[in-house]
Amino acid sequence: MAISRRALIRLGVGGSLLLLAGGAGLAFQPSRLRAPSIPLRALDARSISVLAAIVDRLLPPRPGFPTPAELRIAERIDAFLADGDPAVAADFRRALLLFESGLAGLVFEGRSAPFTRLPPDEQDRVLHAWRTSAWSFRRMVYRAIHGLCMATYFTCPETFPGTGYPGPSRLGESR
């Protein structure tokens, strides 16, 4: 589930080119921005919009489970990143912009629209493409984003009933 310090920019020429593509690709079409429910501390308006869009597809509405928006998962991740190493937050921001990039999307998936402007089934296709890519770099980025989103969502007590997890034992109350 980890994304380590500066790891995303240490992967040689291929990674660097993709990062450049991510930056340039944003110029194709603006992102669909979402207003965060709290002031941001680590991410910016664009990256948290991308994150929220990804989380929505990683964890789409499901009976018995709260939605990521209800749990403010993107905002929780922003807070987690803000309290840690700034270099990790910077790497994570870059990873999100790669997902968003229209240029990178054109190269790898044949789509020029930013991730946030794609319909849900197209977004799922992009996620699947990153997860199963022949390029290790893309699988790494998928795992890093996936891990942080899953960790944040499934540690929320509101998800426990859906998983059958009893949560912390009552021992805690008597100590």
Partner 1 sequence: MNHPRVHHRLDEDLEIERDVCVIGSGAGGAVVAAGLASRGLSVAILEEGAYRTRVDFRMDEGEAYRTLYQDRGLRSTTDLAITILQGKAVGGSTVVNWTTCFRAPDAVLRHWEREFGLRGWTPEALARHFEAVERRLSIAEWPEALANPNNRVLLEGCRRLGYAVGPLRRNVRRCENTGYCGMGCPVDAKQAMHLTYVPDALESGAELFACVRAQRIEVERGRAREVLGLAVDPESGRPTGWQIRVRARALVVSAGALNSPALLLRSGLDDGKVGRRTFLHPTVAMAAFFDHPIHGYSGAPQSIVSHHFADRGEERMGFFLETPPIHPMLAATASPSFGAAQFEVMSRLSHMQALIALAIDGFLPGDEGGRVTVDREGRMRFSYPIREPLREAFRAASVEMARIQLAAGAAEVRSLHLEPVIVQSERDLEKLERAPYGAHRHSIFSAHQMGGCPMGEDEEVCVVDSELRHRRVENLYVVDGSVFPTSLGVNPSETIYALAHRAAERIAPALR
Using rule CB under 8 A, residue 89 touches partner 1: no
Site stretch for partner 1 (CB under 8 A), options 21-29, 38-46, 55-63, 104-112: 55-63
Look up residue 48 and give its DSSP letter.
H
- The amino acid that residue 114 corresponds to is P
| Interface with partner 1, residue 115, by CB under 8 A | no
Q: What is the DSSP-derived secondary structure letter of residue 13?
A: H
* Residue 172 makes contact with partner 1 by CB under 8 A: yes
CA distances from 61 to 5, 50, 56, 69 (A): 32, 18, 8, 10
**Whole-angstrom distance, CA of residue 124 vs CA of residue 122:** 5
| Candidate list 16, 33, 132, 158; residue touching partner 1; CB under 8 A | 132
At which residue do the structure tokens 């749990």 appear?
A: 71
- Beta carbons within 8 Å of 94's beta carbon, 6+ residues apart: 8, 9, 19, 22
Interface pick for partner 1 out of 67, 80, 107, 113 (rule CB under 8 A): 80
With CB under 8 A as the contact rule, which of the stretches 23-31, 42-50, 102-110, 159-167 interacts with partner 1? 159-167
Binding partner 1 by CB under 8 A: which of 69, 122, 124, 125?
A: 124
Q: If binding is defined by CB under 8 A, does position 16 make contact with partner 1? A: no
Position 41 contacts partner 1 (CB under 8 A)? no
| Cβ contact 100:115 at 8 Å | yes
The three-class DSSP label of residue 148 is: helix
* Interface with partner 1 (CB under 8 A): 1-7, 10-11, 57-60, 62, 64-65, 80, 83-85, 88, 124, 127, 131-132, 136, 139-140, 142-144, 146-147, 150-155, 159-160, 162-169, 171-172, 175
